Amino acid sequence: MTERTGGKTSAGVDPLMLGRAIADADRRAAHALNLVPSENRISPLASVPLGSDFSNRYFFNTAGDPMFWEFRGGEDIAHIEALGAGALRRMASARYCNVRPISGMSAMILTVAALSAPGSTVVSVDQESGGHYATPALLTRLGRRSRLLGCENGRVDTSELADALAPGDVDLVYVDVQNCVRVPDFGTMSDVVRRVSPATRLYVDASHYLGLVLGGLVENPLACGADAFGGSTHKSFPGPHKGVVFTDAEDIDESLRSAQFDLVSSHHFAETLALSLAALEVEHRIGDYARTTNDNARRLAAALADAGFRVHGDSGTGYTDTHQVWVALEGPAAAYALSNRLAEAGIRVNLQSSMPGMPGVHLRLGSNEITFEGAGPQAVEELAAALVTARERPLGPRTVSGIRARFGPPFYTDPEKLRVEAGLCTC
């Protein structure tokens, strides 16, 4: 046990002390303010299944069929997956909801496999326009032809889209815009697809703005003519790291189920239960959560712009229609100095090397998590002030607790209530 690994010997590594380091870092994380648009903080209730024995188990018997208990242990809670899917369906106004993908990328692989054939062409949005970095390479690796489309401020060039569809070999238009302050215009895209290539499927990967769609702030892709939409469940929607796909079409639901059987197998039961609890817990306030998330993003953007930060967008259009706020910085050194000072104080920001229409290093901020935790106007103003200060000097040790003191009630159930009313351990 003295073999070397990266300069350390395994004899010098005590797994207990590593476990303790993780627990210590977790305690610090509990107080941190996260401004990362691709992350959210799962609620104490929704996190109950994550460390449970169900993280060790397979589970396929959602219907509770007494003759389908190949894998046991979930008998008393089998109905919870369907209850959660019901809540998601209601929020999405969708007839079908597939909760089997185990991540956003798993949902992407699943939908590409289900809705396009090998050898066909799949149209997606180029990265410079906010498209997901991985889509073109993923498509090529899966034997599809990738064709990219520009998208500016949520508008695609309709003649460019029509040209892409004209050859008749496009099985799927996969709208994968992730980095956006303006949501793509699904309705226009759908009109072009229906007119030029009616057999082509239109899918919206709404990973980043899923919570905003479910909350009614962003137009529902299905209502705009998309065949299906979905994505990861842990960005503007406050769920675990999982994926979900919605559709109104029975044949598409069937295609997804068939592909899921071949490509997913176990759908990570603990996370699926967590997604159910997250959905049922937030369902009656998802509209308020989505609206407040965008209100906070606009307020944060305005406050930073007023203080001299170069913020994407302008006050006339409220800077952003989503949870994202983009702030250009003066090169990597200044960016890391700012990010480090903020991290030192417990404020965690996301650095990106460029954003659509704004080259160079950026803050890609998200209001989704602080909103879930209860941030309102006052907290956002103080947070903006902290970012302004951190450009120049370190922040005081009570900065985060001061901001947290301004928080209102969160959008999740109080841990004390979980303890008292349901006897749940939330240590």
Report the residue number, 30 or 199, with the smaller CB distance to a second copy.
30
* Contacts for 410 with CB less than 8 Å, ≥ 6 apart: 43, 372, 373, 374
Among 276, 292, 294, 371, binds a second copy (CB under 8 A): 276
Among 253, 281, 321, 382, binds a second copy (CB under 8 A): 281
Which 3-state string (H, E, C) describes 199-235?
CCEEEEECCCCHHHHHCCCCCCCCCCCCCEEEEECCC
48 touching a second copy, by CB under 8 A: yes
Write out the binding residues for a second copy, residues 345-364 only, by CB under 8 A: 348-352
Give the rounded distance of the alpha carbon of 409 from its chain centre: 22
Q: How far is CA 26 from CA 76, 358, 371, 427, in A?
A: 31, 34, 20, 12
Please give the structure tokens belonging to residue 344: 């030192």
Write out the binding residues for a second copy, residues 216-275 only, by CB under 8 A: 234, 240-241, 259, 261-266, 268, 270, 273
Report the residue number, 38 or 322, with the smaller CB distance to a second copy.
38
Q: Select the span of 167-175, 293-301, 312-320, 335-343 touching a second copy (CB under 8 A).
A: 335-343
Give the rounded distance of the alpha carbon of 342 from its chain centre: 23
Write out the binding residues for a second copy, residues 144-173 only, by CB under 8 A: 144
Binding mask 95-134 for a second copy (x = CB under 8 A): -------xxxxx--x---x----xx--------------x
DSSP for 85-148? HHHHHHHHT-SEEE---SSHHHHHHHHHHHHS-TTSEEEEE-GGGTB-TTHHHHHHHTTPEEEE
CB of 67 to a second copy, least distance (A): 6
Q: Select the span of 51-59, 153-161, 314-322, 380-388 touching a second copy (CB under 8 A).
A: 51-59
Stated as kind and residue range, the H or E segment containing 377 is helix 377-390
30 touching a second copy, by CB under 8 A: yes
Helices (H), 283-325: 286-306
82 touching a second copy, by CB under 8 A: yes
Report the residue number, 180 or 347, with the smaller CB distance to a second copy.
347
The number of residues that bind a second copy (CB under 8 A) is: 116
Write out the binding residues for a second copy, residues 182-211 only, by CB under 8 A: none
Question: Which residue has tokens 């295609």?
Answer: 255
Binding mask 56-75 for a second copy (x = CB under 8 A): xxx-------xx-xxxxxxx
- Evaluate whether 193 touches 184 at the Cβ level (below 8 Å): no
366 touching a second copy, by CB under 8 A: no
CB of 279 to a second copy, least distance (A): 9
Q: Which residues on neighbouring strands pair with residue 8, listed in sequence order?
A: 5
